[in-house]
Structure 1
Amino acid sequence: MSKHGNVILVGPMGAGKSTIGRQLAQLLSYEFVDSDHEIEARTGADIPWIFDVEGEEGFRRREQAVIDQLTLRDGIVLATGGGAVTREENRRVVSARGIVVYLKTSIEQQLTRTAKDRKRPLLQHAEPRKVLTELMKTREPLYQEVADYVVDTDASNIKDVASEIARLITQP
């Protein structure tokens, strides 16, 4: 593998980036890192609190710095936040420093997978289906833009998706 030997997972909330990323890291014997968890660890605050205090723009600045630092490593599987691709600098960095896999999922699956999650700031103050649909309209082209591979996560189980990604990125 090239591009620092990293695998970077992008996609909407509920696509399975963290869950599949952990499994993929295990298969590849890589370190797994979640950019949202890294932001929380560095700030000592959770993502909803950062959104409340600094707004989305403040969060995105923190996210950009973390993604820049993490992608300088070698041999990681990085799960990015669903909105990481909205910043041009993030798109440039992930494209240059890793093999980017877009984990694609339907709005229905996103609704199911995020229904009980209270740590999704963008879903807390509006109708989730409408928010997810609008986010997908703006972000889908950006996920496609950076993706080296697109893998659908709707019908497959975690191990199958991780195995498929491992096969894709290691084939000659």
Structure 2
Amino acid sequence: MVKKYRTKATQINQNRTSKVGNQTIIYVLSESLSNPNRIPGVKLSQNPLSYLDQIKQGNTSGLMDSYGYGGGTANIEFEALTSLSMNNFAPSMSIPYLYLVPKLKKIPTVMDDFTTKNAIYPFTPTIYSRNRVFKKFGFQHFYNLDSKDKLAYTNKIQNSNYISDDSAFKETLKQVDRTKKGQFIQLTGKFYN
């Protein structure tokens, strides 16, 4: 498996002229998005993620293997940003954002090569102390429901308490358009249509 991905990385990087920090990288961590095309035995009349698949074909993209879904987002987010697996911690380390990160002076992240780093969480920032953790991680702006960095898009669907997918992704595209330089954007949330 390692050999397979090392070979793939060598092929991708062979003609790459730009450094990762000069590109725009967007992490979307969603508690509700799943690809039904990847579920064995499920047959669909059409692909519900055709637009996403089209975007992925034209850009560097991939899949993330996640040990959880539908909750525990902060731990999966921690793993994605730090490249540290929860498997390496004692079982008593239930939430690194609450029990580990506050004790560290600096923690390396995948964002370290970027000058511009923004996080979007269309919900309350104090859940899992994201407001403190993201500051420590080096995010310049953290767009959420309670911060001075106000969300521009906050539409909800019907009687839902959650900001719609459409608003969350518009917020992300707004950040993409803010700079032509490389940037890292993380969108995390409870998206529901």
Task: Assess same fold via TM > 0.5.
Answer: no
Structure whose alpha-carbon radius of gyration is higher: 2
TM-score range, shorter chain: 0.3 to 0.5
Q: Work out which structure has the larger RCO, using CA pairs closer than 8 Å and 6 or more positions apart in sequence.
A: 1
TM-score w.r.t. the length of structure 2 is 0.34
- Greater share of residues in helix: 1
TM-score w.r.t. the length of structure 1 is 0.37
